[in-house]
Every structure is written in structure tokens, then in C-alpha cells.
Structure 1
Amino acid sequence: MIEVQQTLVHEDLIRESFVCNLNKCKGICCVEGDAGAPLDMAETAILAEIYPKIQHLLEPKGVAAIEQQGTHVIDSDGDFTTPCVDGNKECAYVTFENGITKCGIEKAYEQGIIDWQKPISCHLYPIRVTQYPEFEVLNYDRWHICHDACTFGRELKVPVYKFLKGPLIRKYGEDWYQELEEQCQKY
């Protein structure tokens, strides 16, 4: 583990390569899984606030799921997540364009409708953050559906932490990321 301020960063974020390849995977990470995207408490309020502004961009079945379940749910572990369509199928905020999933929240952000890009857990994927009282741990989540992203990342020689520079800065700030880069150079 590498220590960066109040976080521990697993070495896999440096050693492993990753670049999303939507032309291959079609964004299946937004469709597969056993629960919606993890959310923090502040994000649940944001979802409630933005939902009326983005509803028109979502799939009808996603809107139906949100109307029935709410803008967020509590999963079997007691954590906040996005609601899913048909139990544990795709995220209710997913849209489809040319056979590829797209986040309806991010679509609204790109169109200037809202100023929040999407849940940080989605933005950081394949990094998963585990929170402890005094620090956070950043781990690389290996999922077979991301095989093409790993292959593409190796071809382009892009480590996970560099692929996720923008989301990491969004979560932890420029100074944190600069310190991470310095630590990685020593590694």
C-alpha cells in the first residue's frame, strides 16, 4: 500500500493497466452486478434534487423503477445505492445509445442541465473506496466483464491511476493527485 494523505492506495492501481473500451464491452458495468452504484449520503440528496431535471433523458423502465423505489435505495448490506430496473438488473439511470449504455446523469451534465457529473463510485470505477473512521483505502476491483479494458490499457500502457486522473482529482483534489504521482514515481 502507498500512503497518500489520509488514504492508502493499493499498488495494483499502479501495476495494472486499464482504459474503458466501450466499443467492446458496451458499458455492461452499468447493467450487470448485484446492486446499484454505491452512493454516499450527500449524493442521495443530490439525486433527489436533480431527478426532475433529468427524468426526460432516462429510459421509461428506469423512470418506473425510480418512481417505485425512489431516487436511491438501501441495499442488503445497508448501504445507499442507485435503484435498479427489475430487481438487480441495470441501473435505473442508464440510457442506451447505439447499443452502448450511457449514464443519464452524465448525459444531463454534458448538456449543461445539471452541474453534477455522476456518482463518484461510477466515475472512479474500477477503483472501489473502503472508508474507515480515520482513513480510506483505494482498491482495484477486478471484474471479468472489464477484460477488454485491461487489454486496451496494456496496449496503451496506461495504469489505472492515470486512466482515472480526473475522477481522483474530483474526489481528493489536485494536491492529493500530485502526491500520488510522486509516490508512484518512487514505486
Structure 2
Amino acid sequence: MNLYEGILFNRKDMLSPFKCDVSRCRGACCFIEGELGAPLKAKELEIIDNVLPEVWDLIPDKSKEIVKTSGWYIKTDGKYYTNVVNRKECVFAFFENGIARCSFERRYFEGKIKFRKPISCHLFPLREYSFFFTELVYVKIPECETARETGFAEDIPLVLSLKEALIRRFGERWFSNLLEKELGITNIGVDKTGGAK
């Protein structure tokens, strides 16, 4: 593991090929089987409560029933997660042409809300854990095999694929220094469009 400004990460993982292609994976990270949905930060609870009316019409009826009867989040062991439908899709996911989409992200890009999505979703397949340090762990799931294939074909490493998310979470200076000082990636301009300059 490598440590940079209090953040633990694996250099090899950050440089491994990865680029999401939802046309191939069908948005699989939004409907991974399990009892819990996406991890949430406590401060995101109020934000989501406030924007819920803006995304409500995008949410499928079965998800609305879950939200009405048991709420949109689950608390367990002092941690928060989005609720899920039938131990699978996130209650905030909706399907469009067979692809799972995020209701928050849709409204964000429409300019209707300022909250893009939970930061854990934005950072995926990295998961953030906090112990003595903040640790970024690469979660390798079969559903993301197409992203690894696309990243390899297009020569895009995980760290650049997650550029927007990492900047959102840790800031532009941290990201720029991580690339140059820790990963040896140069001639990459930091911007907020998600692409390398």
C-alpha cells in the first residue's frame, strides 16, 4: 500500500486499466445482489432528503413502495446505505433501454439538483474505508470485467477514469499531485470535465 497525505491506496490498482461502458455492463453496479445498497456518508442523508422530491417521478413504482414502507436508507452498525429492491437494485435506480441509471445523476445533468450521486457511487469501484487513515480499496467484481477490457483497449487507468470523483472527494491539488508525484503521470491537465487534457 502507498500513503499520500493521509490517504492509503494501492499504486498498482490505480494504474490498472478501467473505463466504465454502461452499454456493455448495463449499469450493473446499481443492481448488485445484496442486503445493502450504496454506502452513504451521514451528511448525505439530509442532502438526499432535500432532493428526493426532484427524483421521485424517476423512481420505479416498486422502489417507491419500498421507500414508503421502510425508507430510502438502511442503518446498520452505525453506518448508512441506500435501500434496495428484492436484495438487488438500489431504490434510486431506474431502467432505460435495459440500462440501470441513477435518478440523482439524471436530474444533476438536467441542472435540476446540485447533488450528482452518493460519493461512494461516484468513486466505485474504489471503496473508501476509514481507520487510522482513509483507505481506498479497489473492489474487483465480475460485473466490471467489461470496464477492465475497455480500459485496456483504450489505455485508460482507473485513476483517470475516476478523475471527477477523486477531485470531488479530495480536491484538485490532491489529485494533480497524486498523478505526478505518486503515480508518475505527467502532461495531464486537471479539469472538471473528466477527460485528460
Normalization by structure 2: what TM-score? Answer: 0.88
- Counterpart residue type for residue 43 of structure 1: E
Q: Look up the match of 1:63.
A: 64
Instruction: Quote the Cα distance in structure 2 between the aligned partners of 1:67 and 1:48.
Output: 13
Rounded Cα–Cα distance in structure 1 between residues aligned with 2:12 and 2:78: 28
Structure 1 residue 78, shift from structure 2 partner: 4.3
Are the equivalent residues in 2 in contact too, given 1:19–1:160 (CA < 8 A)?
yes
* Root mean square deviation of aligned Cα: 1.4
Q: Is the 8 A contact 1:37 1:82 kept in 2?
A: yes
Rounded Cα–Cα distance in structure 2 between residues aligned with 1:185 and 1:151? 23
For structure 1, the residue ranges without an aligned partner over 5 or more in a row are none
Higher relative contact order (CA 8 A, sep 6+): 1
Note the C-alpha offset of 1:79: 2.1
Match of 1:171 in 2: 169
Moved more, 166-175 or 65-74: 65-74
How many residues of Structure 1 are paired with residues of Structure 2 in the alignment?
A: 183
CA contact (8 A) 1:24 1:148 kept: yes
| Aligned-partner residue type, residue 111 of structure 1 | E
Q: Percent identity?
A: 33
Q: What's the CA shift string for 1:37-96, capped at 9, x where partnerless? A: 000100111111111221112111111111122131124x5420001112x110000011
Higher strand share: 2
The 5 A counterparts of 1:1-187 are: 1-34=1-34, 35-75=36-76, 77-86=77-86, 88-132=87-131, 134-182=132-180, 183-185=182-184
Q: Which moved more, 1:170-179 or 1:1-10?
A: 1-10
Amino acid aligned to 2:38: A
User: Does structure 1 retain, via aligned residues, the 8 Å contact 2:82–2:90?
Assistant: yes
1:110-138 CA-partner distances (Å, limit 9, x unpaired): 11121100000000011011112x42011
SS in 1 for 2:112: coil
Compute the TM-score of the two structures, normalised by the length of structure 1: 0.92
